Amino acid sequence: MTFEASVRTEHGGTAPKTADRTFWGRLANWAPYRVLAGLATASPRRQFVILAALPLVWVLTQHLGPMLQMLRVSLTDAYPVAPNVQQSFTFEHYMKFFQDSLFWMPFFRTLTFAGVFTFCTLILTYPVAYFLARHVSQKNRMLMLLMLLIPFWVGEIVRTYAIMILLGNTGAVNLLLKWLGFIDRPIPFMYTSFSMGVGIVYLTALYMMLPLYSALEKLPKSFNEAAADLGAGAWTRFRRVTLPLTIEGIASGCTLVFLISTGFYATPVLLGGPSTTVFAETIAGFFHVAGDQWPTGAAFATIMFLGALLITVTFQKIMNSLRKGDVR
Amino acid sequence: MSKLTLNRRRFLGTAAAGTAMLASPAYLRKAYAQGGEVNIWTYNDFVPAAFKEQFEAETGIKINVRLVDDQGKQFNLLAAEAPNPTVDIMTVAGHRFLQFIESDLLAPLDTDRLSNWGNINPTFSESDWATIKGSKWGAPILSGMEVLAYNTDYVTAEEAETWDTLFSEKYKGQTAYVIQDMMSIVMLMMGYDGNMVAYMDDPEKAAAIVEEAKNFLIEKKPLVRKYYDGGAEVQQMFVNQDIVLGHSWNGPAAALINDGLPIAMSIPKEGSYGFVYTFNIANNCPNPDNAYTFLNAILGSPEIGAAMTKASGFISTYKGASEFLTDAEKKATSFPEEQLANLQFFRAEANEMKYGLVDPAVEAIKAA
Amino acid sequence: MTRGNRILLSCIYWAFVLYVFVPLILMVTMGFKDSKFIGFPIKSWTLDWYSGVFANAEVLSAFTYSLVIAVLSTLISVIVGTWIAVLLEGRKFWGRALIFGITVLPALVPGIISAIAFRIYARYLGIEPGMGAIIWSHAVHNVPFVVLVLMARLSTLPKSQTEAARDLGADPIIAFLRITLPYLAPAIMGASIFCLLLSFDDFVRSFFLGGYEPTLPVLIFAKLKSGMSPEINAIATVALVITAVLGIWAERFTRRLNKENG
């Protein structure tokens, strides 16, 4: 839609140099602008420097800065520093993780959960994104997509409590099943990995949906038609044409969802059970419960982050080789 | 919430008396003259709206309330702001004092500057936990305790007389507790000092006790439905009937009772722990004089204490506050004498050793 | 495509809609419950919670505060994010991958860690807690999402278009403003909605970097301390309706503007 729009502007308006009366023409001929633009675009090198300056300064100071501070805290022996105490650097907080097998369980559990939930989100949202991108008319598409986005506007906590009254022993689902006569005693859905999954997929669906949708939308219809002409069945077409061509969308959606779901805190804590403790809870414990263990919390957060990053990079590598293999 | 009717004349009277009584009431004069503001970190409804309005009108001091929802966050926030905090008054639980004090975050309280200090029930203001390093660190406002809350449709009062019921096969999958708090109670159940003050000189014994309590909770893990953290969670579990009994603080349980749900609570015979919310002055706070003016005013009348109780479900530390409660409210915030006799307060002296042992144990229980 | 497939897919879509909406419907319904706690059974109903929202100055000011923060932080995120996306997409230079990595970093750090990191860093920079600090942290946190969305869109921009403009004598700045920016417009719109949503919903960063005025999520969290009351459901519902209406209005408005300009 916008592609057409921008083409239209291109042809409708007149070329900048000749059209002195349009806004752009006047701007282009306005002396101060010309001096500035001339200075800024004098050489490709200068152009690049000016283009790169703000992003560089921003990401280095704003994105990296806080994390470096965090890293620094994770290497100090105590934080916040009591007055008149010399701060010293140490690796002991990192060692704590590797020395005590206690922390490994929640760590690996988190990675496993994140993997499983990412997969569930993918399975659930792929058909939905597919339906939206391929079977819904242009006109309704935006509306139907927006409809799915509305619930995400409600805060995480309120939504999580809504899931509690959906799945609780006297929750909506149990009441319905009882009324239909399927059950006599309520099914304990809550505080299991099931209820946790219901809550987490709710949070991650959006992050998966958008990349999938844009990948599927880009896919030309003609590809499928050509395959159909060659006599390929629906499943074969999907497996041989659609899936390989959307693998980039799948990869970026999964990466995003995986990394984000390793960091979830409130939802797993509220919806999970006694045996679903995640690492974020362990980390938060160092900040909340035992207040003065910031360095340990920071060190553990770094470990979590690096672990998740390692898995994501491996995953990306696999997806890359998969893509190459399929194209061949 | 019924409207708070603070006796205006009495309020003024106390303030005047305070002025007359103190040899150097400079802080009061300054407050009246300058107005200014006082910054408070506290829980929702801990500063009654009617009181706030009246205080601002009479002293010209503006009250800025920042709502917090947990002790740890207050600590993190203050630690991040120190040594130049933006806050004057915080709301710390008595047994968490030490952590704040050792990080130099609290200022000792000069009770001579509070003419209304005597309005607090001495059970709270003069209790063993209240004095640390020879100073008072906070003005007690509300008191809470660890109780056994239960759904009266399913659990009998006799069953609720002992913590053992919480770990019985009969209620498998229908119980919940806060592990951290439960550790102290389990130690008490086993006949040990859950505050660990008795073992300060014997770290090996302390470690063995924590180990025993930890193993007990791991053994009972298959029976529990949920390890929870916040009052709202346990309330929702009772409403949804996901649990029929559980460890709770009295405040959240009282709110359920007041709402007409079939919930009751008890202090089991093995005993339990109580804690006190206090208002504290931050070290190097920006408006210390206004902070004292505020503290003295909020301690001014039992009606203010009653208003806090109505809103939070916790028990007021003010003398005579219960006179201003309805019968239902009184019922939800009081216990039989024989149960109260089982109660003792959390103490902070051994906290460093205790939580050094308990925190890893909690992690181990969760990971098991 | 076979008919059966299409029906199956549309069933899945509507099942998903149901999954997404049922908790929402429960939330709206519970706002009418005459009790201090949400949950079944509902014995009596009341309008008090909803009418109370409009009478509650605290809630209204928190709502406006959150909205202002969301809009301002989104503005910053979108400007910076677009700039970074233009730099990174389709250009090869030394350290590009590294810069891309640092760019997406804030999106990948767990919430509590990022909040505390921001708090420490704010202190290091001398930024006072309050509205400015919240806007700053939200803006930084949301930049990666803008960059990711815009880079995806930019990668589909036909090079021939900008080149054509350059051939006609437009300098790079004008070429960017006239060709690239309009092409990016829908993606910018999408990214803005995303940022607004993230900012409006954020609790941890707002809590750690905020001053004495609470944002809506911070206020809700504090209220939760005394129980999940229908009041909170009513507040969330009203906030949802207002933001949805504002969002739809903004979408219509920009669409009309685009039409007029086109």
Q: Residue B219: what pLDDT?
A: 92
**In-domain check, residue C53:** no
C233 vs C91, which has greater pLDDT?
Answer: C233
Q: A65-74 and C111-125 are packed helices; what angle lies between their axes, rounded to 10 degrees?
A: 100
**In-domain check, residue C9:** no
Partner residue facing B70 (CB), from A275, A288, A292: A288
Eight-state DSSP code of residue A152: G
Class of the A93-327 domain?
mainly alpha
* A71 pLDDT above the threshold of 50: yes
Q: Residue C73: what pLDDT?
A: 95
* B28 pLDDT above the threshold of 50: no
Mean pLDDT highest for which of A104-108, B206-210, C85-89? Answer: B206-210
Q: Residue B152: what pLDDT?
A: 93
Is some CB atom of chain B closer than 8 A to the CB atom of C138?
A: no
Percent of chain A with pLDDT over 70: 85
Shortest CA distance to B70 belongs to which of A78, C128, C108, C203?
A: C203
**Minimum distance, in Å, between the CA of residue C38 and any CA atom of chain B:** 8
**Minimum distance, in Å, between the CA of residue C109 and any CA atom of chain A:** 7
Strand partners, B246: B149, B176
Are the C-beta atoms of residues C182 and A24 closer than 8 Å to each other? Answer: no
Q: Residue B20: what pLDDT?
A: 35
User: Which residue pairs, CB below 8 angstroms and at least 24 apart, start in B316-324?
Assistant: B316/B141, B316/B142, B316/B143, B317/B120, B317/B121, B317/B123, B317/B124, B317/B125, B317/B140, B317/B141, B317/B142, B317/B143, B317/B276, B318/B119, B318/B120, B318/B121, B318/B141, B319/B119, B319/B120, B319/B121
pLDDT tens column, A145-199: 777 877 777 777 888 888 988 998 888 899 999 899 888 888 888 898 889 988 8
Q: Residue A273: what pLDDT?
A: 86
Q: Do C26 and A17 touch (CB under 8 A)?
A: no
Is some CB atom of chain B closer than 8 A to the CB atom of A69?
A: no
Helix (H, G, I), strand (E, B) or coil at B227: strand
Q: Whole-angstrom Cα distance, residue C190 to residue A58?
A: 23
Domains of chain B: 8-143+275-331 (3.40.190.10), 144-273+346-367 (3.40.190.10)
Are the C-beta atoms of residues C112 and A264 closer than 8 Å to each other? Answer: no
Chosen from C66, C108, C232 to mutate, greatest number of chain A CBs within 10 A: C108
* B201 pLDDT above the threshold of 70: yes
Query: What residue type is assigned to position C214 of the chain?
Result: P
**Minimum distance, in Å, between the CA of residue C108 and any CA atom of chain B:** 22
Q: Residue B327: what pLDDT?
A: 83
* A109 pLDDT above the threshold of 50: yes
DSSP states along B55-94: HHHHH-PEEEEEE---HHHHHHHHHHHTTS-S-SEEEEEG
* A303 pLDDT above the threshold of 70: yes
Are the C-beta atoms of residues B226 and A191 closer than 8 Å to each other? Answer: yes
pLDDT grade, residue A84 (50/70/90)?
low
DSSP states along C56-118: -HHHHHHHHHHHHHHHHHHHHHHHHHHHHHHHHTT---TTHHHHHHHHHHHHHS-HHHHHHHH
Q: Residue C261: what pLDDT?
A: 56
Burial environment of residue B337 by CB neighbours within 10 A (0 to 12, 13 to 18, 19 or more): exposed
- CB contacts < 8 A, A to C, total 258
Q: Residue A219: what pLDDT?
A: 75
* C169 pLDDT above the threshold of 50: yes
User: Phi and psi for B221 in degrees, rounded to 5?
Assistant: -60, -40
- Average pLDDT over chain A reads 78
CATH number at residue C177: 1.10.3720.10
Q: Do C226 and B67 touch (CB under 8 A)?
A: no
Chain A residues with beta carbon closer than 8 angstroms to that of C102: 59-60, 63-64
HSE-CB of B137 using CA atoms within 13 angstroms = 30
Of A32-46, B171-185, C1-15, C206-220, the one with minimum mean pLDDT is: A32-46
Q: Residue A83: what pLDDT?
A: 58
* A288 pLDDT above the threshold of 80: no
Helix (H, G, I), strand (E, B) or coil at B248: strand
Of A193-197, B165-169, C212-216, the one with minimum mean pLDDT is: C212-216
Q: Residue A9: what pLDDT?
A: 40
pLDDT tens column, B109-155: 888 888 888 888 888 888 777 787 888 888 999 988 999 999 999 99
HSE-CB of A256 using CA atoms within 13 angstroms = 24
Q: Residue C255: what pLDDT?
A: 67
Of B165-179, C161-175, C238-252, the one with minimum mean pLDDT is: C161-175
The stretch A301-322 carries a mean pLDDT of 83
Tokens of B68: 């917090």
Q: Do C83 and A10 touch (CB under 8 A)?
A: no
Shortest CA distance to B8 belongs to which of B56, B64, B58, B48?
A: B58
Q: Residue A328: what pLDDT?
A: 41
The stretch A37-56 carries a mean pLDDT of 76
**In-domain check, residue C255:** yes
Residue whose structure tokens are 């990466």: A255
What are the residues of chain B with a beta carbon less than 8 Å away from any beta carbon of chain C? 39, 43-45, 64-69, 73, 76-77, 80-81, 86, 230-232, 235-236, 239-240, 252, 255-256, 258-261, 311-313
pLDDT grade, residue B167 (50/70/90)?
very high
Helix (H, G, I), strand (E, B) or coil at A270: helix
Q: What are the residue boundaries of the structural domains of chain A, listed by start?
A: 15-61, 93-327
Residue whose structure tokens are 């023409």: A25
Percent of chain B with pLDDT over 70: 90
- Degrees, nearest 5: CA angle B139-B141-B145: 120
Q: C216-224 and C181-201 are packed helices; what angle lies between their axes, rounded to 10 degrees?
A: 20
Tokens of B75: 């600590």
**Minimum distance, in Å, between the CA of residue C54 and any CA atom of chain A:** 18
**Nearest residue on chain B to A161, judged by CA atoms?**
B236
Q: Whole-angstrom Cα distance, residue B26 to residue B32?
A: 10
HSE-CB of A47 using CA atoms within 13 angstroms = 13
Q: Do B240 and A105 touch (CB under 8 A)?
A: no
Shortest CA distance to C222 belongs to which of C237, C233, C236, C232?
A: C232
pLDDT tens column, B54-91: 888 888 888 988 877 777 778 877 877 777 888 899 99
Q: Do C173 and A151 touch (CB under 8 A)?
A: no
**Minimum distance, in Å, between the CA of residue B82 and any CA atom of chain C:** 10
- Degrees, nearest 5: CA angle A73-A77-A83: 90
Q: Do A301 and C110 touch (CB under 8 A)?
A: yes
Q: Do A158 and C220 touch (CB under 8 A)?
A: yes
List the domain range (segments joined by +) for residue C194. 58-261
**In-domain check, residue C49:** no
pLDDT grade, residue B166 (50/70/90)?
very high
* C200 pLDDT above the threshold of 50: yes
* A20 pLDDT above the threshold of 60: no
Q: Residue B89: what pLDDT?
A: 93
**In-domain check, residue C139:** yes
The stretch C237-246 carries a mean pLDDT of 84
**Minimum distance, in Å, between the CA of residue A65 and any CA atom of chain C:** 7
**In-domain check, residue C12:** no
Chain A residues with beta carbon closer than 8 angstroms to that of C233: 158, 162
C-beta atoms surrounding B349 within 10 Å: 16
**Nearest residue on chain C to A55, judged by CA atoms?**
C84
**Minimum distance, in Å, between the CA of residue A325 and any CA atom of chain C:** 23
Residue whose structure tokens are 């509300």: B142
Is some CB atom of chain B closer than 8 A to the CB atom of C112?
A: no
HSE-CB of B183 using CA atoms within 13 angstroms = 26
Q: Residue A267: what pLDDT?
A: 84
* Structural domains counted in chain C: 1
Partner residue facing C38 (CB), from A28, A161, A283: A161
Q: Residue A81: what pLDDT?
A: 64
The stretch B203-216 carries a mean pLDDT of 91
Percent of chain B with pLDDT over 90: 28
Chosen from C221, C226, C231 to mutate, greatest number of chain B CBs within 10 A: C226
Q: Do C108 and A309 touch (CB under 8 A)?
A: yes
DSSP states along B163-209: GGGGG-GGGTTSEEE-HHHHHHHHHHHTTS-TT-GGGTT-HHHHHHH
